Every structure is written in structure tokens, then in C-alpha cells.
Amino acid sequence: MPIEFPCPACNSLLRTPDSSVGKKAKCPKCGAIAVVPEMPSSTAAPTSLPDSQTDNPFDALRGSAGAGPAIDSMPLPPGSGTANPFADASASPFAPQKPVDSYNPYASPAMTMDGFTPVAGPSAAMVPTRINFGDTLQATWKVFSENAGTLVLIALILCGLVVIGYVAIAGVVAAFVFATMNGGVEPVMLIVAIPVVLLLVVVALVVYSWIEAGLAIVVIGLCRGRQMQVGDMFSGKRFTLQVVILNILRGVINFAISFVCGMLGQVLAMAADEPAVAAAGSILANVINYIVTLLLLLTTYFIVDRNLDVIQSVSASMQYMRGNKLTVFLLHIVVGLCAVGVVLLTCGMGALLVMPYFMVLTAMIYLMATGQSIASYAGQKPV
């Protein structure tokens, strides 16, 4: 005789064969696990079901006979096949679970996901946005003024690294040149000197790219209103190779433009028999190189903030600079003129302020051009 008993979680009436006494069974409605009792429930009323449904031992009856659909008419989870009346409570915890409408004493405690709530940052969506001249200047100044101490200290460290690098390379080159002029170096030593100088240049490029990636991480964080430390400028190690390739690409492009325009200027100078015409080639090269600089302005930020490769970052920079090049050009003109004045009035010491300001400005352009959130400014709430 089939055993009928109520589900302890949802109170649905369950039916199992009498041979399943003492075994664990799973409610097909709520998924609760229950032990089949030895005797049928005294409150359960016998119910006759069509023969087509008697092969399912877990027919769910809501309240009384005929009040609810049989389990055969209810959808089963994908891959579950037919219901198993002897399903063990130790089933895989990775199996998909059905939602339970009521409290289930057999269910595992739910895990809160509050700690995984996405915030504005690398996971935030990007939308091509036209930047505003005044808003960009205002936001940049707000971020710079609130973090001036950290930024000036970073600028001092950068100046020290640059001086050390140039002194090392220039010292090695000068030593070999001086020794060669005084006959102290055999010609064969020049074969050794050239690889040494090239090695120093490669090391300088790698260190520069490493620091460039770290600086991008720092200024993006500051523009988002985060607390950044001076040591974060050395956190771009994982992006170093990509930035090295990017710098090589930019260098090759600039060299090719300068070479072609220089040759064009020389040809025009020879044709016009006027040496001054050669300067036109240099001017043209500078104009084209600056346009390229505008197009590739955001590449490093896409690498460190979105983990894009070099080609993807170049493509993204060109896409998000579309419609913003003129505004950025005006920003560079205004900020550049102010920077020249600051440097002249401070006898060169103002460079420690100008350099980090330009870094913050570029990061702010990146965030605004991609429609991402920035730190609050001008009394506004964070956006």
C-alpha cells in the first residue's frame, strides 16, 4: 500500500511505495528532503489517480485529492530525466536548484552577494561621450589640488629616475667616445660598445614603460576618487610588455612621419632653390605627429584599465577620440600656455606641478570620453 505523508516544507501531500520506508526522498514541488515515515499520515486521504500517472511515486496533491496537478505534468530540471524518489541528500552541491517559495529547513544557507556588487571602475560600461572643455578643466583641477602632495612626490621620483637613466647612458657613450679619441680603445672595442649602449636603451625603454603603466593606474584611481599611494606608481608590471610594444609602435610611426616629411622638405627646398623651404617639411611633420598623438592619446589607459592588447587599445583610442580632438587640442593649448608661465615664474620648479597636472588631465579626458564615473567636484555628488 503506498505511503502518503505531507512535505515538511511546503505541506504538499507526497506518495511513495511502501518499500521506501526510512529512506530519504525529495519533494518535487519545493525540493525539500524528507525521511519517508513508517506509517502513512493519519490526515492523508486516499486518492485514486489515472493509470497514466501511477508510475510516478511523488504525485503532489495540494490540500486534497484532485486539488493540484500531478508531478508528471510539472516541468523537470534540464537533464534530470524522471523524478527519483530515492534521491540522496548528499547530491552534488553544484547541481542547479529550483527556487523555493517557502522556508525549507533542509536547504543550505543562502550566500549573500553584497560583497560582489559591481562598482564604477573597469567593469563599468563605456559610452562614447563628447567631453566639455570647462567641466574637464574644473574636474582636473579639483583632483589635482586634493592630491597635490602625492602627485608632486611622484614627480620628484620621476625626475630622479630620468636623471639617473640619462646620466647612465650618456656616461657610457661619453666614456667610449673620449677613450676612442685618445687612442685608449681598440677598434674591436667599438663592437662591444654598441651592444652595451643598445642594452642600456632597451633597459631604459622597459623601465619607462613600467612606470608609465603604473602612473596611468595611479591617476585613473585618483580621478575616480580612490585613495592611491606613491608606491602604486610601480604597480604596472603586468602591463609592461604591452606598453613597451605600444611605445615602439608610436616611435616607429613618429620616425616614419618625420623621415617622409623631412625628405619632402628637402626635395621642395632643392626644387625652389631656397633652403628655408626645408623648414616646411619639419612643420608638417610636427603637425601630423601631433594629430597622431591625439588619436593615440588614450591607448595606455585602455591597456591598464581595460586590459586590452596594443591593437585593441589603438582602435579604442581612435574611436573614443572621435569628436573630441578639437576640445583636447584647445585644452592642450590653454594648459600648455599656463604651464609655460608657471615654469618661467618659478625658475623651472613649476615643472613639478605641470607634469602631474598633465597626467591627471589625460586620465580625466579618458574617463569623460568613455562616459565613466569620476570623483565629485564643484560640490556635486560622485557620478
What residues make up the domain containing 40?
1-118
Q: Is the pLDDT of residue 4 over 60?
A: yes
User: Is the pLDDT confidence value at 227 over 50?
Assistant: yes
Measured from the Cβ of residue 91, the count of other Cβ atoms closer than 10 Å reads 12
C-alpha cell at 274: 631656397
97 plus 167 within the same structural domain? no
Between residues 164 and 136, which one has the greater pLDDT?
136
The answer to whether residues 52 and 4 belong to one domain is yes
Domain presence at residue 291? no
Report yes or no on whether pTM surpasses 0.95.
no
List pLDDT tens digits, range 322-367: 999 999 999 999 999 999 999 999 988 888 899 999 999 999 999 9
User: Is the residue at 354 inside a domain?
Assistant: yes
**Domain stops at, among 118, 144, 164:** 118
Q: Note whether 79 and 35 are same-domain residues.
A: yes
3-state secondary structure of 14: strand
- Tell me the one-letter amino acid at 263: M
228 found inside a domain: yes
Last residue of a domain, one of 118, 149, 165: 118
Same domain (yes/no): 57, 197: no
- Boundary (domain end) residue, out of 84, 118, 152: 118
Top pLDDT among 219 and 47 is at 219
**Three cell numbers written together for 85:** 524518489
Determine, yes or no, domain membership for 11: yes
Q: How many structural domains are present in the chain? A: 2
CB-based contact 227:209 (threshold 8 Å): no
Residue 88 and residue 185 in one domain: no
**Closest by CA position to 153, among listed 212, 223, 230, 228:** 230
Give yes or no: residues 345 and 204 share one domain: yes
Tell me, yes or no, whether 381 lies in a domain.
no
SS3 assignment, position 235: coil
61, 145: one domain: no
254 part of a folded domain: no
Q: Determine the Cα–Cα distance for residues 59 and 69; give it in Å rounded to an integer.
A: 8
Which SS3 state, helix, strand or coil, does residue 254 take?
helix
Whether residues 165 and 87 fall in one domain: no
pLDDT tens digit sequence for 66-88: 444 444 444 444 444 444 444 44
If asked whether residues 232 and 341 sit together in one domain, one would say: yes
In a domain, 126, yes or no: no
- Name the pairing type of β-strands 33-35 and 24-26: antiparallel
Give pLDDT, residue 21.
Answer: 80
Q: Are residues 176 and 95 in the same domain?
A: no
Within-domain flag for 257: no
Same domain, 95 and 224: no
Residue 26: CB atoms within 10 Å: 22
- Residue 218 and residue 342 in one domain: yes
What's the pLDDT tens digit per position in 142-194? 999 999 999 999 999 988 888 887 777 777 777 777 766 666 556 656 676 67
Q: Mean of the per-residue pLDDT values for the chain? A: 77
